[in-house]
Amino acid sequence: MEFRTMVYHVILNANAGTANAIGVTEDELEALFSANGLEATIDARSAVPMQERIDAAMASAAEVIVAAGGDGTITALAAALVGSDKGLAILPLGTVNALAKDLKIPLELPEAVAALATGVSQRIDVGEVNGRVFLHKVVIGLIPGVAAAREHIRGRRDAGAKIGFLRHFFRRLARARRIAVAMQTSDGATRVERVQAVAVSNNAYDEGPGQFFSRQSLDRGTLTLYVLSHFTVFDFIRLTTGMLLGRWRHDQVLTVDSVTSVTITTRKPLIKVMFDGEVEMLETPLAFKTRPLALSVIVPAATDMLATAAIVEAAGGPTP
């Protein structure tokens, strides 16, 4: 289904990483949409709470709601769109832009807007934890503490900030303690372990040369459970090198399982997690499940054709 004649409602998060760095404005977005023959309403009300802006977008006549921001903005909007008849489009204006990269959406703003003119809809899975939708992964253990330190340098691009973050990272590695968790997966099996970190991702991260946390497929209908038993500086160096070479899934400190649901229990009633890149506190136990094909996203036409070709190839070639 094509969206060339669709009406768009754009939610601009001017505080997102790239948006803030290059100073994206409402007028600039209006000009880009107009230049591509697209009808759009731009919501740039940064002083209005995000949920209020999302509610206004959902109540609008727009068929496609556009997240012009980072991964946090995209996840918040996706949670509202799951199960609705509206589609999600992405203008990647964050720092990481993980989902945009997975969906092969251009990272430059003019190209991303132009891609909407010929974009097509594609359904993808979402993950859910304790009733909340996530698109990438939820992590407990060492990583959220490291990510919290990243917030102190967000928006800074100077060498001093990066060096300071690396120092903090390696100090945390040296002092990190393992936590006890119980994990009950969809097959009924329960395992209790002391771990450095546990991540639950929406679908699986691919293994290949230079592929860092990228996913070619977002419609497999599974979650992937990554358990890091310990993580020293040497483990970090070896695992990073393995990612560069495309051989990391069988690293000695890591176990990987594909599941449709998993419940993670800890001794604490509240636990710090990294939720699609943002550090939050969640109540335990953490009950995860997958929601297959629950979200409609707009992707470049070439991406959709590649996905179709992959499905045909997996099925044994085109039917006569």
308 and 183, same structural domain?
no
Please indicate, yes or no, whether residues 168 and 193 belong to a single structural domain of this protein: yes
Q: How confident is the model over 190-201, as a mean pLDDT?
A: 93
Q: Is the pLDDT of residue 98 over 80?
A: yes
Question: What integer pLDDT is reported at residue 320 of this predicted model?
Answer: 32
Based on the domain organization, do 142 and 285 belong to the same domain?
A: yes
The residue written with tokens 């010929």 in the block is 118
Q: In this structure, are 153 and 213 located in the same domain? A: yes
Tell me, what's the pLDDT at 202? 97
Residues 184 and 271 in one domain: yes
Q: What is the pLDDT of residue 263?
A: 98
> Residues 258, 310: one domain?
no
For residue 159, pLDDT over 70 is answered with no
- pTM, two decimals, is 0.82
Residues 114 and 96 in one domain: yes
Q: What is the pLDDT of residue 234?
A: 77
- For residue 138, pLDDT beyond 50: yes
When divided into structural domains, the chain yields a total of 2
Q: What is the CATH number of the domain that holds 192?
A: 2.60.200.40
Which residues 6+ apart lie within 8 Å of 199 measured at CB?
A: 137, 138, 139, 140, 143, 225, 226, 228
Q: Do 12 and 70 belong to one domain? A: yes
Domain-located, residue 320 = no
- For residue 2, tell me if it sits in a domain: no
**pLDDT-based confidence at residue 44 (cuts at 50, 70, 90):** very high
Residue 309 pLDDT more than 60?
A: no
Q: Is the pLDDT of residue 75 over 70?
A: yes
Convert the pLDDT of each residue in 54-66 to its tens digit. 999 999 999 999 9
Q: Identify whether residues 111 and 238 lie together within a single domain.
A: no
Handedness of CA 32, 38, 39, 45 (dihedral sign): negative
Any domain includes 141: yes
Residues 111 and 176 in one domain: no
Name the pLDDT band for 296 (thresholds 50, 70, 90): very high
- Say if residue 4's pLDDT is above 60: no
Range of the domain at 201: 132-292
Task: Looking at the structure, tell me whether residues 48 and 75 fall in a common domain.
Answer: yes
